[in-house]
Amino acid sequence: MNPGELVVDPEAYRFLRGECEKIIDTRKRLPDFVFKRPFAKYFAIEHAHIYSGEFGVFLRKLSSAFADASVNYMTIDPDPVDYYYKHFSFFGLATFEPATLVERYVPAMSRDGNVDSFLFRGGDVGVFWGSSLRWAVSCDRISWEMAVIAVPENGDVPAMSGFRCMNASGLSDYIKSQYSTNISIASNFLCRFLANYPAL
């Protein structure tokens, strides 16, 4: 049995997908500007943080700061319908109540340890957002092993999370280490990313 946070109802999927599309352009990938509007602050973190229970704690703090009724995650790659719904009878989308987010984050995102879950084989590219539509997170494991957190002016991500948020210099070192055998790819990414996210 799948965790209850995974969306199986088509109407719920359509509603949440529509909500997502108000804030994130799911046709775009990093280093492009993937959000539908500018935010005051952007923070780049290593994608590995997404796997941990601490990320659930961070999402809970975001939801509290911005009065979200729900916190949601949707896969972009693999496709939420063509991959997840077709093969596993749930959409590639999870919705959490903030009150239970800390305890339910890892079990739901990992499907209680199933290899075909958002934290393991699936979820190579995905997005998080709150129902307030005041913040969002774009995650790309397949290409860059990083995530970008977008928040308003009062979103103090380092204080809420304790994650190492990379400035331009730190991001440059990180991406170059990821693409040490092809520095031109790293340099192209950094040039485009820093042009699109100047508030990093």
Quote the pLDDT of residue 113.
Answer: 87
Residue 52 lies in a domain: yes
Residue 57 is part of which domain span? Answer: 10-166
Q: Which helix (H) or strand (E) holds 93?
A: strand 93-96
Residue 128 lies in a domain: yes
Residue 179 lies in a domain: no
Residue 174 lies in a domain: no
Residue 182 lies in a domain: no
Residues 22, 136: contact at Cβ < 8 Å? no
The total of structural domains in the chain comes to 1
Q: Mean pLDDT throughout 25-44?
A: 96
Computed over every residue of the chain, the mean pLDDT equals 95
Task: State the DSSP code for 179.
Answer: T
Residue 90 lies in a domain: yes
Quote the pLDDT of residue 116.
Answer: 86
pTM of the model: 0.96
Quote the pLDDT of residue 72.
Answer: 98
Angle at the Cα of 103 from the Cα atoms of 102 and 107, rounded to 5 degrees: 115
Residue 18 lies in a domain: yes
55-72 pLDDT tens trace: 999 999 999 999 999 999
Q: Mean pLDDT throughout 123-142?
A: 96
Quote the pLDDT of residue 93.
Answer: 97
| CA atoms within 13 A of residue 167's CA, in its CB half-sphere | 1
80-129 pLDDT tens trace: 999 999 999 999 999 999 999 999 999 999 999 888 899 987 789 999 99
Q: Which helix (H) or strand (E) holds 96?
A: strand 93-96
Higher pLDDT, 39 or 180: 39
Alpha-carbon gap, residue 47 to 96, rounded angstroms: 20
Using the predicted structure, report yes or no on whether residue 1 has a pLDDT greater than 70.
Answer: no
Residue spans of alpha helices (H) in 24-148? 53-65, 86-88, 101-109
Residue 187 lies in a domain: no
